[in-house]
Each structure stands twice: as structure tokens, then as C-alpha cells.
Amino acid sequence: MAKVNVFPEVFGQEPVKKALHQAFDRNRMPHALLFHGPKGTGKFSTALALSKLVLCEKKTGCGVCSDCKMVNSLSHPDLSITIPLPSLGEPPDRKKEEARLAAFNGFLEAKKENLYHPVWKENKDLITVADLQTLQNRLSRKPLQADWRAAILVDADRMQLPQAGNKLLKTLEEPHPNTLIILIAERPRNLLPTIVSRTQRFFFPHLPATFLAEFAGKTFDLSKEEALQSARLAAGSVANLYFLRAAEEMEKRARAWEVLQLAVSGNDALLFKSLKRVAETRQKDEVLSFLSWLELLIWEFFCFSQLKEPQRVTSEDLKTGFEKLSRSSQLPFPFLSALEEINKTRQDLERNVSFRLALFWLFIRILKGARPALGSY
């Protein structure tokens, strides 16, 4: 048996780790695997740990041999990583080539910093038939350093179809010995069924908040409460933990705070103007993230002003603001129904209601709870 914890860098996902470990120990590792499930659940880190296991000199993923070290630095010559990249265009030009290289290096840098670091890719970026030809060529040659080869295809569900799909299918149909191909996909339904049927599938579910809190505490150096709070907001995904820390997120938080202040102080004209600005985006995720902040701030303001439990407020920087707002508030704000209404708005957004309409209705309903006269809106 290899040592028990061969995936020390993978948070949770015990059933997947156990199954992979057993397959490896019994010499029954499938040559093609599909890791699927939501963003930020450890698919890439598991793929890398598994690659390390097969490329390692001692076949233990020891972490100290030269093969393991090269896998850790994402530079092992027998490890291929393919990701969707911007198109080269026709005819290919140098600028675009440089942009592709920069995007790929950006990916490697982010993952070297932390395997769970999410990497933003444009919707139009794809894995192309040329990328898969390169991969096929590499896999048809002997390994350069180890006795195995590993290939990881990140976002394999974002592939130029049908050409690239067919090329990958061909690679899977003619497996080379001692070769491991790992496809990573959030939406495996976008893969050709013939590809899926040639892989062994492993599902990566959302991570429990306890793992996320542990991760957040370690990675972002947060206090226990802060880590738990972030974990609750991140909804099972490490990627969300990162997004929550990005600058744009802080902007959304600032906007949510502005909206809450305007709603509580009864300044409807400015409130709807501010909501209009939130709705000026093409990304549903941005509106959803605004709602998450709003939800958190409403809850904290409720704890502060109604429950009189300021110790439950984790937004330290807003405590003075909460104090001021609770003094100036003219109306009883329907905190709890507001939280429920936010959930309904999330469902509206899933049904592709326009962002502005969804947000306006949210506040019309909330304010109606505070001021029944608004029923005539």
C-alpha cells in the first residue's frame, strides 16, 4: 500500500480520494478519468495529486523526489496541462500568440500560488483542435523523464466542437500504456457522450463549510469567526472564497451597504437609482454576489440594531455605520422578510428575469412590508 494520505493538498472529497487510491494500489487505474462537479471543489488539485502519484519515482507521491518536485512546480516534462485559451485567429498573428502564452502562464502562476486559486477565462476561450493535436503528439512519444505520462485537460467541457472533440475521442480510443488522461469539467453534458463513455467518472460535490473555513483561515489568515463567515458566503466552493476577496467584490459590498442605508432611511429615489447601477452588468454572477452581500449586511444590521448583539457582527468596519443608521432609521425595517425576498430574487434571476426588474421588485416587496402604502406601486 502507498502511504495513506496521498492527496494531502486536497480538501475533503474522501470518497473520490479513496476510490482513486484503491484503483492505483490494485494497479487498476483507468487510463481516462473525468472529474466533474462545481467550481472550486478540488478537481484540479486532485488531478495534480494523482499525476504526482504516477510520475513519482517511488510511486507514492512522496513530494521530495525530483519528479514530485517538478509536478509541484507544474513543470514536469511528462505532465501536459491543456486549458481553454483565446483564439489564435486566422491567419494567426503574433499578438494573439503572445496573449495565449500570457493567459497560459497566468494560469500556471495562479495554480502555483495555490492549487485552488480560480482562474478566470473568457467565455469565448476554447480548447482547440490544434491544442489536442499537440497533446496527441506528446502522448505518442516516449515519456521524457518518468515512466508514465499524465495529461490534465482543464475545462474540457469548453472545447471546439466537433473537431476538437473528435480529436480527443481519437486520443482516448488509442490509449498508450502508462498514460493517464484526466478531464476536468463543470458541465460534463457539454462533452461528447462518446468521450464521457470512455472515461471513469468521479463527482466532486460542494465542500462543507467546515473545510472552507479551514481553508479560508489558513490561506487568507483570517480569524476563526471571519473564516466561518466567509465559508458561509462561499456556498461550498473555494473559488467563491477567492472571488469574495477580490476588489470587485469589495465594490459590490460597498454598493450593498449603500443600498441598505438608502432603504432603511427611506430615501427611495436614490435607492432605485443605486439599484439601477447594480443592474448595469451582463453577468448574472455579479448580481448574485451583490445579493449575497446585501443578505449578509441585512443580517448583521438586524443583529446589531434589533437583537442588540453587536458581537455577532463580523463586518467590524461597518459597526459605526450600523450605529448611525439605527439611530437615523425612520421606519421599522422588515429584516427577516427581506432575507426571504432575497432568496426569491435569486430564483427570479435563475429564470432569467431582467436584472433591473428583479432588483426593483425585490425592494418594492421589501418596502411594502415596511410601508403598506407602497402597495399602489
188 preceded by cis ω (within 30°)? no
- In the complex, the smallest distance separating the C-beta of residue 79 from Zn ion, rounded to whole angstroms, is 13
Positions 284 through 303 that interact with Zn ion (CB under 5 A): none
141 φ/ψ angles, rounded to the nearest 5 degrees: -95, 165
CB of 96 to Zn ion, least distance (A): 38
User: With CB under 5 A as the contact rule, which of the stretches 37-45, 49-57, 124-132, 326-334 interacts with Zn ion?
Assistant: 49-57
- Nearer to Zn ion by C-beta: 56 or 275? 56
Say whether residue 65 binds Zn ion (CB under 5 A).
yes
Cell of 96: 494573439
- Under the criterion CB under 5 A, does residue 338 sit at the interface with Zn ion? no
Q: How far is the CB of 214 from Zn ion (least distance, A)?
A: 26
Q: Using CB under 5 A, which of the segments 55-63, 122-130, 190-198, 340-348 binds Zn ion?
A: 55-63
Task: Give the binding-site size for Zn ion (rule: CB under 5 A).
Answer: 4
Q: Are 230 and 294 in contact (CB under 8 A)?
A: no
**Stretch of 52-60, 229-237, 259-267, 296-304 lying at the interface with Zn ion (CB under 5 A):** 52-60
Q: Count of alpha carbons within 13 Å of 367, Cβ hemisphere only?
A: 25
Q: How large is the greatest C-alpha to C-alpha distance in the chain, in angstroms?
A: 77
> Which position among 56, 83, 146, 291 is part of the footprint of Zn ion (CB under 5 A)?
56
State which residue, 68 or 271, has the beta carbon closest to Zn ion. Answer: 68
Residues between 72 and 111 with contacts to Zn ion, criterion CB under 5 A = none
Nearer to Zn ion, 69 or 232 (CB): 69
Q: Which residues contact 22 (CB under 8 A, 6 or more apart)?
A: none
Residue 17: C-alpha distances to residues 11, 23, 120, 313 (Å): 10, 10, 26, 37
Measured CA to CA, the distance from residue 120 to residue 110 in angstroms comes to 10
Q: How far is the CB of 303 from Zn ion (least distance, A)?
A: 50
Please classify residue 275 by burial: count the beta carbons closer than 10 Å to its beta carbon, then call 0-12 exposed, 13-18 middle and 19+ buried.
buried
Kindly indicate which of the ranges 50-58, 262-270, 298-306, 315-323 contains the residues binding Zn ion, using the contact rule CB under 5 A.
50-58
Q: Report helix angle 224-233 to 284-305, nearest 10.
A: 130
Dihedral sign for Cα 163, 165, 168, 173, please: negative
Among 23, 30, 39, 62, binds Zn ion (CB under 5 A): 62
Which segment (54-62, 158-166, 175-183, 207-215) binds Zn ion by CB under 5 A?
54-62
The number of angstroms, rounded, from the C-alpha of 323 to the middle of its chain's C-alpha atoms is 35
Alpha-carbon gap, residue 65 to 147, rounded angstroms: 14
Angle at 162 between CA 159 and CA 163, to 5 degrees: 85
- Residue nearer to Zn ion on the CB measure, 146 or 156: 146
3-class state of residue 255 by DSSP: helix
Closer residue to Zn ion, CB minimum distance, 149 or 198: 149
- Which residue from 10, 68, 154, 207 is in contact with Zn ion, where contact means CB under 5 A? 68
Q: Is residue 168 classed as helix, strand or coil in its secondary structure?
A: helix
Q: Give the binding range for Zn ion (CB under 5 A) out of 13-21, 65-73, 169-177, 297-305.
A: 65-73
Q: Which one of the spans 5-13, 15-23, 62-70, 206-214 is the region binding Zn ion (CB under 5 A)?
A: 62-70
241: contact with Zn ion by CB under 5 A: no
Among the listed residues 82, 58, 62, the one whose alpha carbon sits nearest the alpha carbon of residue 72: 62
* Residue 177 to residues 139, 180, 364, Cα–Cα distance (Å): 10, 9, 63
Least CB distance from residue 4 to Zn ion, whole Å? 16
Which residues are near Zn ion by CB under 5 A?
A: 56, 62, 65, 68
